[in-house]
Amino acid sequence: MFSKVYRITASVRIPSSIPPESVVQALQQPENLLDLGSLLHTYKQIPTDSLPEKIHNDSAFFSALDNPAPIVAYEITDMIPIIPGAGSWATKHIKFFARFQNTHDGVRGYVNASAGVTVKSVYGVVFKERRAEHTDNGEQQESIGEWRLVEISSVECFALMMPFVASNLDVSHKELLQKLLVKIAAEQGRSNGSGDVSP
């Protein structure tokens, strides 16, 4: 059975009340991303050499860049609803693994989920500059821009599974970024209750 890849690009504006470096620091603590997973039940950090052999030896994603930062690994348990809305008795616990490596502007993650699903992600903070405006007399005004929290991911799984896997990925991943900004704002005491994390 052949596999298929689904690509995700999610981006949200970072409010001016949150320093960009604070977002980078939050990304470089993988627990922040893990805590916000909607189906997450439990997780624990584990030594990378305790990963299953196939996962431990699959390092191409991390070795693509000359990055000396260490790789950290987690064992994760998700609760997957078998019958939506039926309660905890109709859920199944799925165990899988994730690895993270800090970058200069965020973090890279590689998740090996069940049923052959893999997710490779890059999270970062970037400055998006807007096109400079021109006045009537031909003078160019100062260009402006905004800081954004960006995720670029690729999800790979068996082709027959892709419609189910991809159905809510775009929305859920953007919500994850927004939740992270809300969490940062609350921790910094900067939240004014408006939840200003609009894209």
Q: Is 36 within the bounds of a domain?
A: yes
Question: At how many degrees (to 10) do helices 169-187 and 20-27 cross?
Answer: 110
Residue 133 is predicted with a pLDDT of: 61
Residues 6+ away with beta carbon under 8 Å from 86: none
Residue 109 is predicted with a pLDDT of: 96
Look at residue 139 and tell me whether its pLDDT is greater than 90. no
Residue with the bigger pLDDT between 12 and 142: it is: 12
> What is the rounded CA–CA span in Å between residue 133 and residue 164?
44
0.85 cut: is pTM over it? Answer: no
Q: Is 195 within the bounds of a domain?
A: no
Considering the chain, what is the average pLDDT of its residues? 85
- Looking at this protein, which amino acid is placed at residue 19? P
Stretch 58-87: mean pLDDT: 83
| Rg of the chain on CA atoms, in Å | 19
Q: Is 26 within the bounds of a domain?
A: yes
Look at residue 28 and tell me whether its pLDDT is greater than 90. yes
Q: Is 69 within the bounds of a domain?
A: yes
Residue 190 is predicted with a pLDDT of: 46
**Of 4-18, 52-66, 71-85, 184-198, where does mean pLDDT reach its minimum?**
184-198
* Count of domains forming the chain: 1
Instruction: List the CATH number of the domain containing 20.
Output: 3.30.530.20
Is 71 within 8 Å of 100 (Cβ atoms)?
yes
Q: Is 83 within the bounds of a domain?
A: yes
Tokens at 175, concatenated: 């919500």
**Residue 50: domain span:** 3-132+144-187
Look at residue 191 and tell me whether its pLDDT is greater than 50. no
Q: Is 8 within the bounds of a domain?
A: yes
C-alpha distance across the termini of the chain, in Å: 38
